[in-house]
Chains A and B, each alone.
Chain A
């Protein structure tokens, strides 16, 4: 983690923190500073994470965002982004989430990787990822934005820890060498109704390629993906809005099911 946090990064980090304190989204950073760069946005994210670590939180993994062509088009970008997963973001499979922990959540179905070996950039390939992966699991990611009405540009979501919220791991651990990750089918349900379907290839053509991108991107920041880390590799279908009282589940071929409730408030 960076030793020196710039005044600007600290200020913008505090701005986003207001959203959590006030319980409502704040102005996007890109409207406070239209010139903010991607590098500066990551510095804001790292500043926020550093503060959380200082209060005793622990990094348990990373998430990759903007992995679908549709999302990249929406934000006008041609590459993914990433955020940090902390120990207090973990929700048990089938558990109920208090809606007060969230601002404007959406749910996505994904494949989670758990590493058995460190992955160190800059030349990590999708094959390296599969060989370094202990197992994969089905996951629900509850994304959220500290920015008002999800009015995000690329820099906004990067600064906001890639719009991370909470995440749920389910199913059973499966070795990535036992399955073809690119062709795994996924069905996402809200309250028992099918919302959409997807397939592994929705994440940059191959979820393992997303993890490889992450390892190589982290190299720029001097960060290593460590054995034991959980990596959410990217949504397999469009994110679905969550309301109080909703029940979400996803079924993934070979990997099983993962589900979560939102309390009715």
Chain B
């Protein structure tokens, strides 16, 4: 795929995000699109967003559950980037800011040190992590009906679109991150649940794999970045007037109300 096409597709996806409009998935027109080319498109998309004055908060992991990897036929997760304009502070979000959003409960890592290499271990991750905090990630594919193949979703910045963080920050060492029980509730009803181990066996494993995937591309995780490690629960749809909340054992909760 030539650079002009890569740039054209990145603009196409960026426009869909700006206009909050679902578009046909790109593999309909480019059925041969490879994972490698998809990451090139994602890099251009990231570049466009940086040129628009947005800043990277940190990378995020996607397809971290066995169920999702099986569904997509892959044995490695994917990553994308969360930008500052996607972080919602306060307790409300507007449905009109999204196309067809879904929410999942995750644990976020805040790095105190860089993580670089292709053999980064869980221990190095925990050592480099200053804090963890609970998060609700809002994913919103730019594709029609949330329907995509692996290269499509990679090019689309792993469906990144929003995140709300918890208010408690804790050092990771005191916690058994894989045994943190999580419930995701909508209007008080439990809609999904799980424990930290749902994310690749341990949320820190997700960060280690992310560091290694970036390492293979000559990139690294940087001190200060906030990393979303992947859904402990499945992605759940919500509607206007819903109250969405997630409870995380020992590390607090995150809530938001959905406006029109």
Contacts from A to B (Cβ < 8 Å): 69, 180, 182-187, 194, 196-202, 205, 251-253
Is B31 engaged at the interface, CB distance under 8 Å to the other chain? no
Q: Which residues on the B side are within 8 Å of A69 (C-beta)?
A: 190
**A186 CB to nearest chain B CB (Å):** 6
CA distance A238 to B94 in the complex (A): 35
Is B169 engaged at the interface, CB distance under 8 Å to the other chain? no
The interface centre, meaning the residue of A69, A183, A186, A201 with most chain B CB atoms within 10 A of its CB, is A183
**Nearest CB in chain A to that of B182: its residue:** A199
Q: Which residues on the B side are within 8 Å of A199 (C-beta)?
A: 181-183, 193-195, 249
CA distance A187 to B180 in the complex (A): 10
CA distance A101 to B221 in the complex (A): 53
Tell whether, in the assembled complex, residue A183 and residue B66 are in contact, meaning their CB atoms are under 8 Å apart.
no
**Nearest CB in chain B to that of A195: its residue:** B66
Tell whether, in the assembled complex, residue A201 and residue B197 are in contact, meaning their CB atoms are under 8 Å apart.
no
Tell whether, in the assembled complex, residue A253 and residue B193 are in contact, meaning their CB atoms are under 8 Å apart.
no
Tell whether, in the assembled complex, residue A183 and residue B250 are in contact, meaning their CB atoms are under 8 Å apart.
yes
The interface centre, meaning the residue of A186, A194, A202, A252 with most chain B CB atoms within 10 A of its CB, is A194
Apart from A194-B201, A199-B182, what are 13 other A-B pairs with CB-CB below 8 Å?
A180-B249, A182-B183, A184-B179, A184-B249, A185-B182, A197-B194, A198-B181, A199-B194, A199-B249, A200-B181, A201-B183, A253-B195, A253-B249
CA distance A197 to B87 in the complex (A): 28
Is B198 engaged at the interface, CB distance under 8 Å to the other chain? yes
Q: Which residues on the A side are within 8 Å of B66 (C-beta)?
A: 194
Q: How many residues of B contact A (CB 8 A)?
A: 21
Is B178 engaged at the interface, CB distance under 8 Å to the other chain? yes
CA distance A183 to B250 in the complex (A): 8
Tell whether, in the assembled complex, residue B180 and residue A185 are in contact, meaning their CB atoms are under 8 Å apart.
yes
Main secondary structure of the interface of A (DSSP, over half): strand
Contact check: which of A180, A185, A205 meets B195 at CB < 8 Å?
A185
Contact check: which of A180, A187, A201, A251 meets B193 at CB < 8 Å?
A201
Q: Which residues on the B side are within 8 Å of A182 (C-beta)?
A: 181, 183
**Nearest CB in chain B to that of A197: its residue:** B195
CA distance A202 to B190 in the complex (A): 9
Tell whether, in the assembled complex, residue A253 and residue B183 are in contact, meaning their CB atoms are under 8 Å apart.
no
In chain B, residues 146-195, which have Cβ atoms closer than 8 Å to a Cβ of chain A? 176, 178-183, 190, 193-195
Q: Can you list 7 residue pairs at the A/B interface with Cβ under 8 Å?
A: A184-B249, A185-B196, A186-B181, A199-B194, A199-B195, A201-B193, A253-B249
CA distance A207 to B178 in the complex (A): 20
Tell whether, in the assembled complex, residue B190 and residue A201 are in contact, meaning their CB atoms are under 8 Å apart.
yes
The interface centre, meaning the residue of B176, B178, B194, B247 with most chain A CB atoms within 10 A of its CB, is B194
Please judge, given known A-B contacts A194-B66, A197-B197, whether A186 and B179 are in contact too, CB under 8 Å. Answer: yes
**B155 CB to nearest chain A CB (Å):** 30
**Nearest CB in chain A to that of B199: its residue:** A197
**B107 CB to nearest chain A CB (Å):** 11
Q: Which residues on the A side are within 8 Å of B176 (C-beta)?
A: 185, 253
Tell whether, in the assembled complex, residue A187 and residue B183 are in contact, meaning their CB atoms are under 8 Å apart.
no
Contact check: which of B197, B232, B247 meets A194 at CB < 8 Å?
B197
Q: Which residues on the A side are within 8 Å of B193 (C-beta)?
A: 198-199, 201-202
Tell whether, in the assembled complex, residue A183 and residue B247 are in contact, meaning their CB atoms are under 8 Å apart.
yes
**B49 CB to nearest chain A CB (Å):** 34
In chain B, residues 214-243, which have Cβ atoms closer than 8 Å to a Cβ of chain A? 232
Tell whether, in the assembled complex, residue B190 and residue A198 are in contact, meaning their CB atoms are under 8 Å apart.
no
